[in-house]
Amino acid sequence: LSRLPLVEGVLKYIKEKNILFCMPGHKGGLGFLKTTQGVELYKNLIKGDITEVDGVDNLHFAGGIIKESQQLLSEYYGSIKSYFLVNGSTSGNLAMIFSAFNEGDKIIVERNCHRSIFNAIIMRKLKPVYIKNKIHSKYDAPFPLDKEHFLYLIKENRDAKGIIVTYPNYYGICFDLQYVIELARNYGMLVLVDAAHGAHFGASKLLPENPLKLGANMVVMSAHKTLPSLTQTAFLHVGEGIDINKVDFYVSAFLSTSPSYMFLCSMDYARFYIEEYGEKDYDELIKICAVNRKRINSLGKFYVLGPEDLRETLGNQDEDNNMYTMDLTRYILNVPKGYSGHKLLQYLRVNKIQAEMSDSRNVVLIFSPFDSSQAFNALYIALKKCDMKTLEQEYVDLMDYDMPTTIMYPYEVMDREKTIMELRQAEHKISAAAIVPYPPGIPIIMPGERIEKKTIAIIEYYLRNNVTVFGINQGKIETVEK
């Protein structure tokens, strides 16, 4: 008899019955079981895996129930038009960038944007200028863009057509988006927002604001990351100043022509849920998160970051005017220097708690209204009994660095012949790859940028300290000639 390795692997994971402090937002189906409408959908979900038959409309030419559902989505979030996506925020970022920009346009983008954005920049042949990302000096957590650097960039690049930002970042940290949008407007630039982790924003006054309400021109949200919707589902919202015909074309071009109605129905449900129950349930969840944050912090072993930590930035003690905010339904669970975030994530898994991700000093946990008080308590107990000795790890300082010089655009690098060489011989060459140490996950060099002596020193420093560096293979780097 043949085997089913994939099915067996997933069933084994399900049988572990872990507490799911991670995506998807429906938390193993609990989000559907919360309401009578959801229970009905849950029971019939697999039967809802249908295709376009009479009476159920067509995603690519919506005129019936899909259109009606997308209109409700648009009204709830406050867009001009909203789309259901069945290929994740990945497809949303591609469609958004192709709709808003033309070949050869200059854009301003955060340096550690999601790879789907970077891929779209290559495919659309855009000319990126990067906003530097910061690292919180005390907690070694990546922070979003810095106002001062952004202000400098926008003044230096008045010919840019638009700005692409991530709001919030994976850690749930947000910058002052209103400021960025107002400034961009003054310069006649579009603002596109990758809000993959922010589909619940605006549901409660205690959460950061929904980017559409702040005037963003286009916004992508993963429904599956925080809402009760199936994995792969996402929303694209269009605000002012965008050609809807182009968006219609690119959305259709980047989506399967056979979208599962399970996906579509779960998005209809996610919007229904957040509209009907969002405010009350998120207020409640944020209270539970705050209470348990206090309990965990009182253990004196770990530290869950809070709003008061957003002011103390990156080494300088001056009053910071960045006005960062955070998603209070997510924990950045920090371990002291000399201990490992990765080991803590593994420890939690052994104790049947699945966290979302880890870096060298932090574990990120994603909560939704379907997580019970008992689940939070299990986390507290696991942390309380954790033997810190088992988490020990030598501390590696994260390095700041200057932005390299761009010699070529990423799309130009794609078509050049690549030469693989020893890193230490690559001074003054042009990198063909993004070189990204994890942590902090911020590229040291991007394709088309010049490799300097200092760049090599930083990469060697990380390699010496056994940090994973993507883009370096056995001490070798890929380069191109001008």
Ligand X SMILES: Cc1ncc(COP(=O)(O)O)c(C=O)c1O
Footprint of ligand X on this chain (CB under 6 A)? 88-90, 93, 114, 116, 166, 170, 194, 196, 222, 234
Minimum gap (Å) between residue 208 Cβ and ligand X:
14
Smallest distance, ligand X to C-beta of residue 279, A? 25
Instruction: Output 222 or 431, the one with its CB closest to ligand X.
Output: 222
Q: Which of 99, 90, 86 is nearest to 117 (CA)?
A: 90
Choose between 2 and 258: whose C-beta lies nearer to ligand X.
Answer: 258
Nearer to ligand X, 33 or 357 (CB): 357
Cβ 327 to ligand X shortest distance, Å = 13
Q: Which is nearer to ligand X, 135 or 423 (CB)?
A: 135
Q: How far is the CB of 223 from ligand X (least distance, A)?
A: 8
Q: Which of 116, 133 has the CB closer to ligand X?
A: 116
d(CA 433, CA 154): 26
The two structure tokens encoding residue 121: 């920049």
How far apart, in whole angstroms, are the C-alpha atoms of residue 364 and residue 346? 13
Whose Cβ is closer to ligand X: residue 327's or residue 478's? 327
Collect all residues with Cβ–Cβ distance below 8 Å to 6 and sequence separation of at least 6. Answer: none
Structure tokens given for 61? 């030419």
Shortest Cβ 358–ligand X spacing (Å) = 15
How far the first Cα of the chain sits from its last, in Å, is 56
Query: Which residue has its beta carbon closest to ligand X?
Result: 88
In the bound state with ligand X, the residue whose beta carbon lies nearer, of 196 and 267, is 196
Distance in Å, CB of 136 to ligand X, minimum:
18
Smaller CB distance to ligand X: residue 204 or 226? 226
Phi and psi dihedrals of 304, rounded to 5?
Answer: -90, 125
Judged by beta carbon, residue 57 or residue 327, the one nearer ligand X is 327
CA atoms of 90 and 86, how far apart (whole Å): 10
Nearest approach, Cβ of residue 142 and ligand X (Å):
12
As measured in angstroms, the least distance from the Cβ of 170 to ligand X is: 5
Closer by beta carbon to ligand X, 82 or else 166:
166
